[in-house]
Structure 1
Amino acid sequence: MLAILKDFLLNLFFILIPIFIVPLWVEERNIPRHIKQHLFTVCLALVIILCITIPVSSDPDFIFDLRQIPLWLGSLYKGPATSLFLCLVTIGCRLLFGGAGFLVTVITSIFIMITSMTLSKKFLQLSSKHRILLATALCAFSGSLSLELAQMFQGISSSSSIMSLTYLFVQPIFMLIVCSLKEMIYKNMELRKRIIRAEKMEVVSHLAASISHEIRNPLTAARGFMQLLEQHHLSPEKRKQYIQIAIEELDRAEAIITDYLTFAKPAPESVEKLNVKTEIERVIDLLRPFANMNSVEVKTTLAPFTITGEREKFRQCLLNIMKNSIEAMPNGGVLQIYVSIEKQRMLIRISDTGVGMTKEQIDRLGEPYFTAKGIKGTGLGMMVVYRIIESMNGTIHIKSEIHKGTEVSIYLPLSSSNSHDLTNEEKKFLQHYKTST
């Protein structure tokens, strides 16, 4: 009995392969719809061949196996064309083994094909639960029909009576299991598609709302001052002042659009060699008044390594990170910037002693419109940072603890690929670094 059950489970394993592996494999690779259908049909045909070739048990004339399960699955779920193809495969494969049982296979296969052609459209319109129950009932009936026909045409030996009863009991149960799993996988795939579609729509709606909100203010101000220019009694000084304000507001709108384009088009436009030490010092000079205002001390350990990238984008990246660090220390603190070499890549480590972040906040950093600053943030700064670092073939890692501070580590490829290409200043720093560590 255990040997029989083992062979039934082997047939079940063959059937579950296209049910589990094929849909997931196809979904991951975005294969066209028509190819998906043909691939599933071919897999079911191979399963039928395997079930007949490696049966549970076989008399001289009758073969016990679970071929009817994939035959019903393909016929009910995929329609008449698939049903006809699978029936021909079943009959053709069974023909190779001969015996009176071949006639039983022909009759049951034709019955399955005709029944599925009649029910396939209505079957797909049923609820998931009703589809499972109907498929199980049909499979149980076709199994009983096969045994009745075998008894009628050739008779089944007494040694096969236990196998017949087991077959009548096991096949519907396995059909119930297979159909339930197929429906579950189908539901999960549909749910995943809906979630992805909803996320895309949410991003679009957020983007539209954010752009309209951010750009409407400067445009409204510019429009108002341009309307004031129509007043004839304005003095030349006032007119010039209004024009200047309108231009400034338009420039602000342009800067906002530039931030969005940085996210949408992260590829560098004018690539050049950048001295990291020089670029960091420039950004620190820009932020020093802001740091002083927040009682933040800036400490640096810089090295003159060169990287490849777009100067303005790289400065913008550093500016966003350092500004976030300073804003995270409203009561003062220390901002440390450290540059070195780690695993043949340049490391820029920016750390603060600020309020820190939770693990959930760290995981969401870089998402559009997510900010840890509350109403003060737009959620675009770190999004832009991630895109710029990505465009420079770099990676970014963030560590943080609440009330202890945050550490941002940026890894970028050096423009000098080997030690012979390093400048004298870089070689001196590397030598100092190796001896000190």
Structure 2
Amino acid sequence: MSESTIDRSSVDRKSLVKAFAASLSGTTLEYYDFAAYSVASATIFGPLFFPGDDPLASTMLAFSTYAVGYAARPLGGFVFGRLGDVLGRKRVLVLTLVLVGIATFLIGVLPTYATIGGAAPILLVVLRFAQGVGIGGEWGGAVLLSSEFGDPRKRGFWASAAQVGPPAGTLLANGVLALVSALVTTEQFNNWGWRVAFLLSALLVAFGLWIRVKLEETPVFKAIQAKGERSAAPLRDVFRYEWRPLLAGILSRICPDVQYSLFTAFILTYLTQQLGLSRSVGLTAMLIASGVELFLIPAFGALSDRMNRRLLYLIGAIAAAALPFAFFPLIQGRSIAWLIIGMIVALAIHASMYGPQAAFVTEQFSARLRYTGSSLAYTIAGVLGGAIAPLIFTALLSATGSWLAIALYLAGTAVLTVVGLALGRTPDPAEADA
């Protein structure tokens, strides 16, 4: 099925904006939930759910539950990816939104270890797993929801709607946590203040559902359905016929995932435990940098429509490899100004890869297998990249006491991403939905 055969005559500007908003709002909510959890893991979940004598060991246990969310993503990719190629994009995206929202709300009311003992960390892991399953099915569909409504020649921009979700969610989550931290004492924050960010997710779920339920199915899926070209076994077909695009998608995502984990999760641990800076300083720097990245992601997405997408991505990967060798020496003086500048540069480099990423990954696959293929690439890369990254960062810091090993690790993941880009393709927009 060629792009030129798909009827987009009924898609007006209002529909495009609604699709963009539906994609953005859902991923913002789900990454708000994920960001709130990552910040809590780096700062307070250790003593609350994994009490112990060694703060670093407690943090590692907390980060292990952070990793569970990533480990659960492939299951969500398998289940919801298949449903998205069989039932449609819209229906599945409503299910994923509800799943993540409920799990996050329940984390907000979960008793701690001091109240119910060993059941607390077990329940925390279960709810984190549910979050991961939902997000595993969210990303691929959110990308398709916006990009399959838009002009394929502008796929980089339209697909970036889902990519804006992580920094937007991070901005909201950190903003709420920073505000609560400023309004209450440390004791109050540890007792109940952290729960506010998780409980507020209920409002975001309601807003996201309101937008998504009213949206129509994408023109691309309608065309596939009308022509009877839906795959009966999307999972089997991806692994049998489109394994190279899958490998390209997986590898291309690893470095951006690891870099994002470093500068939005682990960095708080490094700043507080190694440099002795306050949690609020780290949160403020992250807020400012995430705010800048909100605008840079769609900008880089649009830029990738005007230049070779893979080349832009490659430049970002090389910059990411070099970044920590400048960033960590820069912040050793504990200058807040240099920290903020370094964080802005770090997330700007991330945006140069993340902006074009959604379009690059989805256009590797044929339209009838796109939800499944994209979801698998996204979720498997998450396990290999973002899931284990905070644990590896913490272990490397504990073993060496230096940031150098962390920098070398990030550089190694950049090499994998370059290999993924080399395996990928740059299709003609006119044939992108073939």
Normalised by the shorter chain, which TM-score bucket?
A: under 0.3
Give the TM-score taking structure 2 as reference length.
0.22
Flag the structure with higher helix content. 2
Structure with greater Cα Rg: 1
Which fold has the larger relative contact order, with Cα–Cα distance below 8 Å and residues 6 or more apart in sequence? 2
Give the TM-score taking structure 1 as reference length.
0.22
